[in-house]
């Protein structure tokens, strides 16, 4: 588990390369998180926390949980996100990323 508190100063964001991560903390609202797992099948759980930006850097991601409060989604060119399952913190499936990006409101 990674806990980013409100006083954390993460200027360039941070990278997740493992196959499983749970993130929490009020500091996520000011952080960019790059998801770049080394192996296929990674599951990332944001627990419904507000996150400034999530960057998906490769297609090794299986599921992103607690994704309902991500303010901005970015995808590295050439990465296919169609096989990634997006769910909210209660386990309800969200729309595909291509649709989520179209309906998101600017923060």
Could you tell me which of 47, 51, 99 has the C-alpha nearest to residue 71?
51
Residue 90 has pLDDT above 70, yes or no: yes
User: How far apart (Å, rounded) are the C-alpha atoms in residues 57 and 48?
Assistant: 21
Which residue shows structure tokens 């769910």? 87
The three-class DSSP label of residue 101 is helix
pLDDT of residue 98: 64
pLDDT confidence of 68, banded at 50, 70, 90?
Answer: very high
Q: Are 57 and 32 in contact (CB under 8 A)?
A: no
Give me the pLDDT at residue 2, please: 82
Backbone angles phi, psi at 29, to 5 degrees: -65, -15
Q: Which of 27, 29, 34 is nearest to 12 (CA)?
A: 34
């Amino acid at each position: 588990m990674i806990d980013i508190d409100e006083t954390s100063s993460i200027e360039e964001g941070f990278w997740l390369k493992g196959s499983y991560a749970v993130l929490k903390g009020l500091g996520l609202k000011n952080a960019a998180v790059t998801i770049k797992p080394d192996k296929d099948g990674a599951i990332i759980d944001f627990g419904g926390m507000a996150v400034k930006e999530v960057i998906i850097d490769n297609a090794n991601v299986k599921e992103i949980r607690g994704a309902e409060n991500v303010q901005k989604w970015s995808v590295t060119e050439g990465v296919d996100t169609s096989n990634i399952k997006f769910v909210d913190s209660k386990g309800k499936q969200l729309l595909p990323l291509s649709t989520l990006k179209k309906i998101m409101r600017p923060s």
